[in-house]
Structure 1
Amino acid sequence: MPEKLEAGALEVIRRLTDNGFEAYMVGGCVRDKCLGRKVKDYDIATAARPEQVQSLFKRTIPTGLQHGTVTVLIDRVPYEVTTFRKEGDYEGYRRPSEVEYIDSLHEDLQRRDFTMNAMALDRYGRLIDPFGGQDDLREKRLRCVGCAEERFREDALRMLRCLRFAAEYGLEPEPETWSALLRMKPLLGHIAMERVQAELLRMLAGANPNLAVELLCKSGVLEHTKLKLRLASIAEGKPWPDVETLPDELHRLAYMYIRIGATPEQAEADMRHLACSKQQTDNVRLMVAAYEQLRHEAVETAMPDGEDLPEVREWLKRQWLLAAIRYGRDTLRSVHKLYSLEAERTHSQSVWAAEGRVWLDAMPVSEVSELAVSGQALLRKFAPAKPGPWLGRLLAALLEDTALGKLLNEPESLLKAAEAYYEQIRENPCR
């Protein structure tokens, strides 16, 4: 598949050059080929104007004509083909006010952000590298093209991209680039929060999330976003443990909130500010909330010889399973993963880390839908009673006792227990 992907890009370049237009692979695909990394997609720059590109290929999509970009389909694979261009003054520290088509590859490369992204390959595999990108990669150096301050002033998002690239490729921003970033970071206040979110999550999902966190702390860029973030306080406190051991970016983000002492409400507010999806927001909020509840519920009691008191361990199991009912079994599995980062676990966390996954796997039910009786079955049993809050309380009681192993998840056992619960609820309707 990688060979097929590159073959399609070369086919686009051949057709353009055979028709008299310069054309090159540019940007990230060239960088990744130089590093021996897998190339996910190929971008092509050409002297041909958009309408000329459209006339040369059967299947095209006008994805960005205002910026000179046409998507060409080769065997259903998309390739972005962009006309050589230079850009006018930037608006809002993000986008150029106008684009002018040009015939110079050098001038086109000159407008790009970092030297490693300002290289090109021709149809014969010859590298065009006017700004020393290959040397910078060899020296593990991240450097802006030309004046770093100008590049960041043109597009303030480049500062977050700088941190992401440094972490992803194991590069060190060279002194002028780093100094310019520190001077210009207040301009991040002009950048849309969803763009900040995209860069942040890509950093945490990348090859070295720990280095990403380190650079975020060291730079303090999150203190300058358009909307204030609780996450900005990650720059404070002790060194970070290895978040790379967590399975994905949402676990890592949740741990960051836990680490800085954020409440579930603060984490949720941040996620909303960052324009995260509802699912992303709920996942992080639930992890933080479950972790916080368990921390507050913890009992730190052990026998003098270091062995657990059986009643304490049973109490800890109960709290763990009740949290699974409240926040979901998957959330507790996630919390179990978060404990792996705690260098100094409390007694309760040590028990949960050791036993929590086993308890969850053995848990007979964790939500009402898993019960062997339904709300409709209970309504039939207690007819002519009408649906109301009592039904939710009854199902919750059955769920808790079944999850804790006090009841078998069988219709006969549940319906029999429901009779006693129903009488209690009728006697105490407000409880």
Structure 2
Amino acid sequence: MSELQTAAHRIARRLIDDGHTTYFAGGCVRDALLEKTPKDYDLATSATPDEVQALFPKSNAIGAHFGVILVKEAEYFFEIASFRHDGSYTDGRHPDSVTFSTPEEDAQRRDFTVNGLFQDPLSGRIIDYVGGQNDLKTKTLRAIGEPSQRFQEDALRLMRAIRFATVLNFEIEPSTWQAIHDHAELLGQISKERIREEFVRILLAPSRARGFELLTQSGLMHHIIPEVYDLIGCEQPPQWHPEGDVYQHTRIMLDMLKQEPSEALALAVVLHDIGKPATYSYDPAEDRIRFNGHDRVGAEMSESILRRLKCSNQTIEAVQAMVANHMNFMNVQKMRTAKVKRFMARTTFEDEMELHRVDCASSNGLTDNYDFLRLKEEEFAAEPLIPTPLVTGKDLIDLGLTPGPHFKEILASIQTEQLEGRLHDREQALEWTRKSLMPHYS
């Protein structure tokens, strides 16, 4: 038994010993039945919030209004929720009121059958009031009760449905899927932060391409990145993109992406060609489709889209860099050594390499630029790509130059010679500066 599970059992035992019916609830039960290690444990109990706090005086009443108390045991935090029945949901997210009730009624208020299971912590017995065990066996995601009501109560469940179907690789039951279609516009009630959190979790799942497709087909993408719909039917040059339009290209790239991409990389795959519809042109004389400047336009659109989704500045900058630079890979074999080293020294380089790999693998299949850069990594491995500068601004002042914007140009020129392997030490660099640069800046 893991430390997390042991801590959860200690909390449950304390509630049970005090006379309260207490079960493990929701995701931890689902994951255990799927033979996955639960990442956290939620508990449901007949104890009221006041009774829970009396047993755990250092607890945090984070959601006492909804019957939820946060308890810390060892180094772990656990949500303890009183069995309840929810009132109406006028804000489309939270119940206006709750009434403490029974396990049977509590199960009925939950979102999906596979999340509506309870487990007795002492005996391990599964308590199933909603048919969740059968849906786990058939790999079916089904809303509890009337699907439309579940989604109208809490519109974030629309995103959660796609996430669970993606992460668990379950099929969405037809009436639940129809309700997602019918109520997709409700997602507009949810904050962009919560939408982004669910979207990113979908993109980081191994079946991310399927999740991307479900979001698009359901209409939910209209409230995430509506620009994705412009990719559908946006034709590409067949000689370079036999896989089809920009949407299909993007979906295939997501499917080919390595198992555990960074958030920025997953978003960059979605957005790398987002500028193509806006830059589409057809040259009848050459019978050729072009997307001139789509990398630049795409980088600008990416910033706007990610700010709309309330992404961090760090994520936005990384994605922008990847989108802006993804076409530069075609030029790497023609670059001077110094430029190749600077290209490889950027913080986003490894993610860009993966972006380039799946970009090519999903279209023309060419790997020559990727292979070239991997060989360069081996060639340059003996020393830092960008070594310590041989000359500083102080050195330039000591040479008699007046500080100014031109210092940046001078230092960059010296660094280029160093990266090219023509300057090896400070004295050599200073001498080269005196002879080659000072006449132009004195």
**Is TM (by shorter chain) over 0.5?**
yes
Structure 1: how far apart are the matches of 2:158 and 2:435?
64
State how 1:95-174 maps to structure 2 within 5 Å: 95-98=94-97, 100-123=98-121, 124-174=123-173
Which of 63-72 and 337-346 deviates more?
337-346
Tell me if the contact between 1:291 and 1:335 (Cα under 8 Å) persists in the aligned partners. yes
Distance 1:87 1:79, change over 3 A: same
Q: 1:401 is matched with which residue?
A: 417
Structure 2: how far apart are the matches of 1:273 and 1:324?
34
Structure 1: how far apart are the matches of 2:415 and 2:215?
44
Tell me if the contact between 2:155 and 2:190 (Cα under 8 Å) persists in the aligned partners. yes
Unaligned runs of 5+ in 1: 299-312
Structure 2: how far apart are the matches of 1:83 and 1:344?
50
2:389 pairs with 1:371:
yes
Q: 1:302 is matched with which residue?
A: none
Distance 1:324 1:13, change over 3 A: same
Which of 240-249 and 14-23 deviates more?
240-249
- C-alpha displacement at 1:231, in angstroms? 4.2
Structure 2: how far apart are the matches of 1:62 and 1:409?
64
Percent sequence identity over aligned pairs: 31
Q: 1:271 aligns with which of 296, 306, 309?
A: 306
State how 1:237-248 maps to structure 2 within 5 Å: 237=245, 238=248, 240-241=252-253, 242-245=255-258, 247-248=260-261
Q: 1:89 is matched with which residue?
A: 88
State how 1:211-226 maps to structure 2 within 5 Å: 211-225=210-224
- C-alpha displacement at 1:250, in angstroms? 2.2
Distance 1:346 1:72, change over 3 A: closer
State how 1:29-428 maps to structure 2 within 5 Å: 29-98=28-97, 100-123=98-121, 124-225=123-224, 229-233=226-230, 237=245, 238=248, 240-241=252-253, 242-245=255-258, 247-248=260-261, 249-260=263-274, 261=276, 263-294=298-329, 313=333, 315=334, 317-318=335-336, 322=339, 325=342, 328-341=345-358, 342-343=360-361, 350-360=367-377, 362-363=379-380, 370-380=388-398, 382-383=399-400, 385-403=401-419, 405-420=420-435, 422-423=437-438, 425-426=440-441
Q: Deviations over 1:183-205 (max 9, x none)?
A: 11111111111111101111111
Structure 2: how far apart are the matches of 1:5 and 1:329?
39
Q: Deviations over 1:263-291 (max 9, x none)?
A: 11111111111111111111111111111
RMSD over equivalenced CA pairs, Å: 2.6
Unaligned runs of 5+ in 2: 234-244, 277-293
Which residue type is aligned with residue 18 of structure 1?
D
Which residue type is aligned with residue 336 of structure 1?
M
Q: Deviations over 1:134-190 (max 9, x none)?
A: 111111110001111111111111111111110100101010011111111111111
Which of 358-367 and 16-25 deviates more?
358-367
Which residue type is aligned with residue 244 of structure 1?
L
- C-alpha displacement at 1:394, in angstroms? 1.1
Structure 2: how far apart are the matches of 1:96 and 1:31?
24
Tell me if the contact between 1:218 and 1:235 (Cα under 8 Å) persists in the aligned partners. no
Which of 233-242 and 72-81 deviates more?
233-242
2:160 alignment partner, SS class:
helix
Q: 2:236 is matched with which residue?
A: none
Alignment size in residue pairs? 400
Which of 55-64 and 132-141 deviates more?
55-64
